[in-house]
Amino acid sequence: MFICPACNGFEVLSFSCPECEGEMKDRGRLVDYLDEYSPYLDDEGLKLVDGLKHSTDEHTCLHVLYCSQCETTSEYAVQEEHQ
């Protein structure tokens, strides 16, 4: 079984914004923004529509990063860990 360290609170994602150098914070998994029920669906099934071709095979979890200073968003693939 593989788990995302960011989703499970083992890792905090924080990066500098490429636009304004402000702090970009993790806003959670990209697939959770697809519709109102997606946070409750099977993780492996959602990986089929996350936009990453090999996220299931490579065990990655795509997160949204947001800068509140300039409202820039970006995506970051977190490497899942084997548990």
* Tens digit of each residue's pLDDT (9 = 90 or more) over 26-43: 999 887 777 665 555 556
Structural domain boundaries in the chain: 2-82
pLDDT tens digits along 55-82: 666 788 889 999 999 999 999 999 999 9
Q: Is the pTM of this model over 0.85?
A: no
For 6-67, give the DSSP string. TTTTS---EEE-TTT--EEEEEEEGGGGSSTTGGGS-HHHHGGGSS-TTHHHHTEEEEEEEE
